[in-house]
Amino acid sequence: MNCELCNQPGGKLLWQDANCRVVLIEDADYPGFCRVIWQQHIREMTDLSVAEREHFMATVFAVEAAIREALQPDKINLASLGNLTPHLHWHVIPRYAHDKHFPQPIWGTAQRAGTSSFSPGWQTRLTDCVRVKLSGAAR
């Protein structure tokens, strides 16, 4: 199968279970940008059972909570598109008033150069928060 999310992790692995994984996207413009990826090649949310959907969304919400706690963004964007990669995944994107695209979507036209000023160790804080939030929330 020629699916990038089946054939590669999709980012730096922060957490996983039998059903889904959480990865950090290495994007200097959007520190803390995570994806929650369903492990099996599934195209749409309604292809999952109700219990699987609940588990998947509980994972997305736990990642949102971890990002908010670790990085204190101005806003969180959640997106599930899959037009280019039809493998079920959610983008969990911390947004800051000073980022390149704010208040537009990150896939739109840049509004400014953007700045990022995170202290060393933010990735460790985020990883720890994700793991703590998912130690029981997504089960």
What CATH number has the domain bearing residue 71? 3.30.428.10
Q: Give the pLDDT score at 119.
A: 79
Tell me the per-residue pLDDT of 104-118, one tens digit each, with 9 for 90 and over: 999 889 999 877 777
Residue 22 lies in a domain: yes
| Domain presence at residue 139 | no
Distance CA 122, CA 127 (A): 9
Average pLDDT taken over every residue of the chain: 92
Residue 118, in any domain of the structure = yes
Q: Is residue 73 part of a domain?
A: yes
Q: What is the pLDDT of residues 56-107, one digit of tens each?
A: 999 999 999 999 999 999 999 999 998 888 899 999 999 999 899 999 999 8
Instruction: Quote the CA–CA distance of 4 and 32 in Å, as a whole number.
Output: 21
- Token pair of 135 as six digits: 């130690």
Q: Which domain holds residue 88?
A: 4-134
pTM: 0.92
**Domains in the chain: how many in total?**
1
What pLDDT band is residue 7 in, cutting at 50, 70 and 90? very high
Residue 78, beta-bridge partner list: 92
34 within a domain of the structure (yes/no): yes
